Structure 1
Amino acid sequence: MKIFSADQMRKADEVTIQSQKITSLELMERAATQIFNVLHQRLQGAPIPIHVFCGIGNNGGDGLVISRLLVEHGYHVKTYIVNFSDNRSEDFLANYDRLKSLGAEWPIQLKSEEDLPDIQQQDMAIDAIFGIGLNRPLLPWIINLIKHINASRCFTLSIDVPSGLYADKAPDDPEGVIYASTTVTFQLPKLIFFLPETGQYSQDLEVIDIGLNRDFIAQTPGQAELIGKNEVLSLYKPRYKYAHKGDYGHCLLIGGSYGKIGSVVLATKSALRIGAGLATAYIPECGYEILQTSVPEAMVVTDEEDDYISNVVIDFDPSVIGIGIGLGTHEKTVDAFGKFLKQNKSKLVIDADGINILAKESRFLEYLPERAVLTPHPGELKRLIGDWKDDFDKINKTKEFSKKYDCVVVIKGANTLIIYDDNIYVNTTGNPGMATAGSGDVLTGIITGLISQGYDPLHASIFGVYLHGSSGDLAIQETGYQGLLAGDIVSYIGKSYIELFKKPEQMNPQA
């Protein structure tokens, strides 16, 4: 599913109005009616006080339509106009008049902190103050209104986006944003719902189809791509009856140091579990018995040093190499890593200390093969590309880095981002239980194992991140968040493949 920018959404509205020969007022009525239908289906006429906060632009116009429909269906509604300017949109004014014509309680005008209404925790608030067009800091009294709504702890539904969020940068005041229990957004999701600084403001997200022009949406490249089951199914490479292990590549996992051999165990298991034909682990001598015992399906080659990697000597041509897991940053290891990069001809996945070494020894970056995959967590990314102002700046700097070194960057975390060139892919699987030691090592093995089978590095990253998250989602049904271990994620990789081909009625509703 595409993710559109604010400008692209405005253009989609314009094209829809022209192609369907409707007015903007009619489109507003259609969109707001869809939200009302969602509300009405859930409330079923429940006699709870509903507070509708309307700005004076088109987002406020949506709120006025919802208010009118709620009144018409017998709900107990109070409508508030948040007067932050003397300017009103034409569609807002039209719907303001329609609401007043019902003879219902007139909308209450809010102009300062003295006007803040009483809201109880058992009430409901509908946030229609600002939409995706917000482009200036909020007035202090508006921030206090938002804090007042949040402090009530009532169920809050935001229309399109939680008020106080910009479409393309972090909020000026983190407390000046509505914390929405649910955000109902129009037609396509927005990038702000999936970034750490802005995604936290929407506890739940629902995307509703309001009938925007489908040709425009299909023909317009999105700001980003949201990755779900439909997107990854098209990447899947089925196996054929007469296949043998040689058809699925021979991957090499290089890493480990004294006390950190477990990371290579996890990565090697994952590479095999995801479907690599053969896997070899290259580790220090101290890990030999651990690897041979823990992963009997793998082959093991050891370094001449006992506790760390000092010299990478490979006597075969691997399909792909995953390097960096548990590697450490010993002086000899850093030197060996640089020499390895300089002579390497294989496709490459780099994680953990491999990234830390690249950050410290930036001259090594020129040795990266084309479309190498780097899998940093935010701390490793910061060491690699430098600090950033906000998540949007982080994305832009990562794009620049990706283009400069022709590499795929996988930024691990909730809604893991895959960035290549100017393209952004946002993952939808995974859960908080995966914030556990070794989870990233598993991902490195998964991506390495997919490339081994012939997947393009970018496709392997997209598919791999999805399967990694899906495995974690399946595992927590048995372990819960706190009980999840990285090894559990490995155990559910096979089931994550099976889940891809289940019909909705076959799927566990908790998945």
Structure 2
Amino acid sequence: MKVFSKEQIYEGDKLTIERQQISSTDLMERAGSQIFNWMHLRMQGAQVPIHIFCGIGNNGGDGLVLARHLILDGYNVNTYIINCSDKRSKDFLVNYDRIKNVTKKWPVLLSCQEDFPEIDPNDIIVDAVFGIGLNRPIDDWVKRLFVHFKSSKAFILSVDIPSGLFPDKPVTDKDAVVWAGFTLSFASPKLVFFLPETAKYTVQWDVLNIGLDQEFLLNTETDIELIGKHEVLPNYMPRDTFSHKGMFGHTLVIGGSYGKIGAVTLASKSALSVGAGLVTSYVPKCGYIPLQTSLPEAMVITDSSEDIITSINFDITANSIAFGVGIGTDTKTGNAFKQFLKKNTAPLVIDADGLNLLAKNKDLLKLLPKSVSVLTPHPKELERLIGSWTDDFDKLNKVKAFSKEHNVVVVIKGAHTISVMGDKLFINTTGNPGLATAGSGDVLTGIIAGLIAQGYNALVAAIFGVYLHGKSADIAIEDYSYQSLNASYISDYLGQAFLDLFKPPEQPNEQAEDQSKTE
């Protein structure tokens, strides 16, 4: 799914109005009507008090359209106008007149704290105060209103974006943003729904189709893409009946040190489980017996040292190499890494202490194979590579600059893992808190390396690998829960993650079907 920028959304609105020969008021009617349809499908006429707070711009106009439809359908509606400026948008004024024509209970004008209505925890608040066009700090009394929303403990539904949240800037005052339980976003979700510092302002979200121009939606290139099943499925490489293991590549996993051989085992197992034809593990001598006994499918090469990697010499042809899991940062290991990079041309996936070794000697970054290297840092490892950041937007800008400078894919691990290549961001939608466990990053490293070995390019392998990693965990928690999900289970469930790619979508219930026919 494309994630459109604020500017692109405005352009889409403009083109829709021109090409479909409708007015901006008509487009607003569509938007408000779709919110009504969404609510009506779920409420079915329930007489829960609904408090709709409308700004005086187009977001407020959407709220007025919604209020009118709810009133006409017999819902218990209270409508308020947030009088924060003397300026009103044209379409707001049109819909302000329209709502006055359907009810004697006109919208209440709010302009100070004394005006705030009482809201019961069982009520519903609809936040239609500010949309994506907010470009200034909000007034103090409006901020107090938002605090009033939160303290009421009522369910909050935001229109397009939680008011006070900027689509392209960080939050500087958490009390100046609505904390929504659900957000109904037009055309596409917003980037801020997926960033650590701003995702908390909406618990859930959904995208409403308001009939924007199809040519615009299909042909407009975006710098951000949301990755789900439909996005990864076209990249899947099916297997021929007469295929053999030599056709699916050879992954070499280099890592491990005394007490950390498990990391290599996890990475090697996941490379096999994701479909690599052959996997060889390169470890210190202390890892030989553990690997040969716990993972008989993998081959093993050992370093001359008992406890750490001190030199990297092998006579196999690897189609991908995973480096760094459990390897440590000993000086001898760092020197071995440097010598290895000088002669290596195979695609690389670098994780854990491999990243820390790069951070300690950033000249090594120049030796990474261009366009075929994938770096998979967790937040602290990322900070060592790119330096500290002031906010999530600053972090993304620094990662994009780093990716462009070194021509590498960077996988920013987190609740919504983001794969970055140049200016492009690919936001993953699978995964859950069960992945916050030792070894899950080692599994991801092996998955990506295993996909590269099969012929997936580095960026696709990162995007697809992150998706499968998260999907495996999503399936596994049905059996193990968040708390009991071990990293090895993720590899065990990769097969089910692959099978899930080809499951047909669930059929909507009859009630939903009936509703869709009337829209």
Q: TM-score range by the shorter chain?
A: over 0.9
State the partner residue of 2:483. Answer: 482
Counterpart of 2:473, as a letter, is: G
Structure 1 segments of 4+ aligned residues over 3 angstroms from their partners: none
Counterpart of 1:180, as a letter, is: A
Instruction: Determine if contact 1:126/1:157 at 8 Å carries over to the other structure.
Output: yes
Distance 1:96 1:44 in 2: 25
Counterpart of 2:451, as a letter, is: L
C-alpha displacement of 1:275: 0.4
Instruction: Determine if contact 1:71/1:104 at 8 Å carries over to the other structure.
Output: no
State the partner residue of 1:308. Answer: 308
Distance 1:469 1:184 in 2: 25
Tell me, yes or no, if structure 1 residue 124 matches structure 2 residue 124: yes
Instruction: Determine if contact 1:169/1:390 at 8 Å carries over to the other structure.
Output: no
What TM-score do the two structures reach when normalised by structure 2?
Answer: 0.96
Most deviating of 135-144 and 471-480 = 135-144
Distance 1:15 1:32 in 2: 19
SS in 1 for 2:96: helix
State the partner residue of 2:514. Answer: none
Distance 1:153 1:65 in 2: 25
SS in 2 for 1:306: coil
C-alpha displacement of 1:506: 8.9
Distance 2:306 2:83 in 1: 71
State the partner residue of 2:516. Answer: none
Counterpart of 1:291, as a letter, is: L
Distance 2:237 2:13 in 1: 38
1:461-480 alignment runs, 5 A limit: 461-480=462-481
Q: Deviations over 1:19-52 (max 9, x none)?
A: 0000000100011101101101111111111110
State the partner residue of 2:408. Answer: 407
SS in 1 for 2:85: coil
State the partner residue of 1:62. Answer: 62
Distance 1:110 1:260 in 2: 62
Root-mean-square deviation (Å): 1.2
C-alpha displacement of 1:505: 3.7
Instruction: Determine if contact 1:162/1:202 at 8 Å carries over to the other structure.
Output: yes
Instruction: Determine if contact 2:33/2:65 at 8 Å carries over to the other structure.
Output: yes
Distance 1:393 1:21 in 2: 40
SS in 2 for 1:197: coil
C-alpha displacement of 1:120: 1.0
C-alpha displacement of 1:415: 1.5
Instruction: Determine if contact 1:134/1:167 at 8 Å carries over to the other structure.
Output: no
SS in 1 for 2:189: coil
Tell me, yes or no, if structure 1 residue 418 matches structure 2 residue 425: no
Instruction: Determine if contact 1:225/1:424 at 8 Å carries over to the other structure.
Output: yes
- Residue 487 to residue 104, structure 1, CA distance change in 2 (3 Å): farther
Most deviating of 210-219 and 109-118 = 109-118
Q: Deviations over 1:160-181 (max 9, x none)?
A: 0111110111112123211211
SS in 2 for 1:490: helix
- Residue 25 to residue 506, structure 1, CA distance change in 2 (3 Å): closer
Instruction: Determine if contact 1:324/1:351 at 8 Å carries over to the other structure.
Output: yes
1:49-448 alignment runs, 5 A limit: 49-371=49-371, 372-448=373-449
Distance 2:110 2:309 in 1: 67
Q: Deviations over 1:183-236 (max 9, x none)?
A: 111121221111111112111111111110010121110131111111111100
Distance 1:22 1:223 in 2: 29
Most deviating of 56-65 and 172-181 = 172-181
Q: Deviations over 1:272-294 (max 9, x none)?
A: 00000100111111111111111
Q: Deviations over 1:337-374 (max 9, x none)?
A: 11111111211100111111111111111100012100
SS in 2 for 1:242: coil
Q: Specify every segment of 5 or more residues in structure 2 that has no aligned partner in the other structure, as ranges.
A: 509-519
- Residue 157 to residue 399, structure 1, CA distance change in 2 (3 Å): same
Most deviating of 373-382 and 19-28 = 373-382
Distance 1:85 1:251 in 2: 62
Instruction: Determine if contact 1:156/1:179 at 8 Å carries over to the other structure.
Output: yes
C-alpha displacement of 1:244: 1.0
